[in-house]
Structure 1
Amino acid sequence: MRRSPPQKLTDYLPIAFPAAMLGLFFVVPFAIMVAVSVFKRVPGGFYEPAFTLANYARFLSPFFGEVLVFSLFLAAFVSAICLLIGVPFTYLLTRLRRGNQVVWLIALLGVLSLSEVIIGFSWSTLLSRTAGLSNLFVWLGLMDRPQSWTPSFGAVLTGLVYQAFPYTVLVLYPAFSRLDPSLMEAARTLGSSPIRAFLNVVLPAMRTTLLATSIIVFIFALGAYLLPQILGRPQHWTLSVLVTDQAIYQSNMPFAAAMAVFLVMASLALVGLSVAISGRKGAGQ
């Protein structure tokens, strides 16, 4: 059943309110941010209206390059780990009975209900020397004395993986639920082991979903803000943290706005890529 295109102005009324909200809370603030990004910073003050590309020229500086490379590396690392753990986990989850699946999904939604502050300080406690997991390892005889594992890159990575993992599973779950079980049965009948059948049959059938999921998790990790500050050192700060630092503590709003514009445009480009991949998959089906 095909929908006919809008014929009258009143046919657009159902999307009028969402469009107004999008314009009010995204388009207008983003336009202001773009305008501020080309303003000139006033030494000892704030900024004044002007048109300069000096703020964007600072993207070529080693300072911005180091933060950008680290942010991209961290986001890619988080995405890879989430897929490495989430793909087999989600596949096994969809093979469980319906009641057990509901229990696991509720648990994952419970993790999503936690704020980033709670997750950050919880992992900060678990990785601390006084009340952390190292004390359990000492009690088990695996370590000589308790150690502090935060602040560190490993702590930031652990916190981000913990926060992004539920999103990974929830994005993968619908696709794995629709996967035809006869694919695995046919591979097993032809003599493949369960692991080999999973690698050679299931994963190739899910490649577009896996790529779209990796992009979504990458975008999520790229915008990390609180966890790098709570669990890491300044060298572990992401681009989002640098935007806040430049805007509030360095009083350099134009440069902060330029970085924010770059971050938003990069995220939108990745979202568009994910939508294009999903659309191509739907057209292929």
Structure 2
Amino acid sequence: MSAPARTNASGQAALAFPAVMLAAFFVVPFGLMIAVSFFSREQGGFYTPVLTTANYQRFLSWFFADILLFSVGLSALVSAVCLTIGAPFTYLLSRLPRRSQVPWLVAMMAVLSLSEVIIGFAWSTLLSRTAGLSNLFVAIGLMDGPEAWSPSFTAVLCGMVYQAFPYSILVLYPAFSRLDPSLSEAARTLGASPVRAFFNVIVPSLRNALVATFIIVFVFALGAYLLPQLLGRPQHWTLSVLITDQAVYQSNMPFAAAMAVFLVASSLILVLLSTMFGGRREAK
């Protein structure tokens, strides 16, 4: 066998294991979930394998459409906040000496090691009336009395941004670290302020990385489950919470599968759009 043939065969063998794992743990379960979403629910938590679109028709009702719109809007808001804070932060981080960057990156990794339960209870304590930040504001004279800021939409947003922020930094950091420093120096030489140079030169040159970060954080936030329950009220619950409620507490697996199919399909479409957008930008 020639050397190119051996290289091709070894490459295919290396891809065989990931392909088998992807098929076993994603393609097959997702296919079963699609099949169950067309089944009919019976009394007692059972379901009949008949072809029906009733579950999808129910999902398109105004009640569940409102929850879907809230979930999408919340995920987009979390992505926008993470990108607004993360892009300047990552740019400044990438301009620091290497020895100064390491502690910040370690801190980001430390946040990733925290479970969603710990993050939820930590933020509920910080925003509580008895031991929250409002007591500090009262002590320094900014407030007359302590207030409870959780559960609320703001608490849900803060918790989800805190959880997703390290992911946005880790996605943006490679792109910012490879950025040519002469770009901002040239803009400064031509009279642009640091802020104007960042938005007129740095941001357009890293458009692909920014769009990819937005989509990754959006998909991550779209599947939020514990934080909306720990930090929000029922009107702040996301679609993932309703999927669990239908599957576990209502014993309506076909309807839960229909909602889960839509959630996974939405994530896959966003990833596909991100890939297509990046490919077109590189081709240009």
TM-score between the two structures when normalised by the length of structure 1? 0.94
Offset at 1:24? 1.4
C-alpha displacement at 1:93, in angstroms? 0.4
* Unmatched tracts of structure 2, length 5 or more: none
State the match for 2:116 in structure 1.
116
CA distance in 1, matches of 2:25, 2:127: 38
Tell me how far apart the structure 2 counterparts of residues 180 and 7 of structure 1 sit (CA, whole Å).
35
> Do the aligned residues in 2 keep the contact of 1:212 with 1:277 (CA within 8 Å)?
no
Measure the CA separation in 2 of the matches of 1:6 and 1:66.
Answer: 56
Cα deviation, residue 283, structure 1: 4.4
Q: Is the CA contact 2:45–2:252 (under 8 Å) kept in the aligned structure 1? A: no
TM-superposed deviation, 1:13: 2.0
Residue in structure 2 matched with residue 225 of structure 1 by the alignment? 225
In structure 1, what is the Cα distance between the partners aligned to 2:198 and 2:5? 43
**Aligned-residue RMSD, C-alpha:** 1.8
TM-aligned CA deviation for residue 64 of structure 1 = 1.0
Partner of 2:187 in structure 1?
Answer: 187
Match of 1:198 in 2: 198
Residue of structure 1 equivalent to 2:136: 136
Which residue of 2 is the match for residue 65 of structure 1?
65
1:35-89, Cα deviation, whole Å (9 max, x unpaired): 1100001134421111101101112201111110000100010011001100100
Return the TM-score normalized by structure 2. 0.95
**1:1-150 alignment runs, 5 A limit:** 12-150=12-150
Partner of 2:256: 256
- Asked if 2 retains the 8 angstrom alpha-carbon contact of 1:36 and 1:254, the reply is yes
Taking the aligned partners of 1:174 and 1:206, their CA distance within structure 2 comes to 11
Asked if 1 retains the 8 angstrom alpha-carbon contact of 2:183 and 2:201, the reply is yes
Unpaired runs of at least 5, structure 1? none
Distance 1:280 1:63, change over 3 A: same
How big is each residue's C-alpha offset from its partner over 1:170-222, in whole Å with a ceiling of 9 and x where there is no partner? 10111111111111111111111111111111111111211111111111111
Displacement, 1:9?
A: 6.7
Bigger CA drift: 265-274 or 3-12? Answer: 3-12
Aligned-residue identity in percent = 69
Report how many aligned residue pairs link the two structures.
282
CA distance in 1, matches of 2:261, 2:191: 53
Q: In the alignment, is the contact (CA less than 8 A) between 1:120 and 1:226 conserved in 2?
A: yes
**Compared with structure 1, are the counterparts of its residues 86 and 9 closer, same or farther at alpha carbon in structure 2 (3 Å cutoff)?**
closer
Could you say if the C-alpha distance between residues 84 and 7 of structure 1 is closer, same or farther in structure 2, counting changes exceeding 3 Å?
A: closer
Letter in 1 for 2:13: L
Q: Secondary structure at the match of 1:251?
A: coil
